[in-house]
Structure 1
């Protein structure tokens, strides 16, 4: 029973966090026009 209560409290906290972030919205700004490197660059040819 205690595990069920703990799970319900955790789920409610996560849901409240999602609602808070949704209500606040994304911060203002813009993304970088240059792409991020996701791999190690190879030798230049």
Structure 2
């Protein structure tokens, strides 16, 4: 029974943490217009 209560409390804390992070929203900022290069461009 203690394990079940501990699991329920853990789930409630995790759910509250997710709701808090979601309520805060995404951080303000801008994305770069330049694409990210994942490989080194080859020069002929």
TM-score (norm 2): 0.66
Q: Which has the larger radius of gyration?
A: 2
CA RMSD of aligned residues (A): 2.0
TM-score (norm 1): 0.65
Q: Which runs of 4+ in 1 moved over 4 A?
A: none
List runs of 5+ in structure 1 lacking aligned partners: none
Count of matched residue pairs: 41
List runs of 5+ in structure 2 lacking aligned partners: none
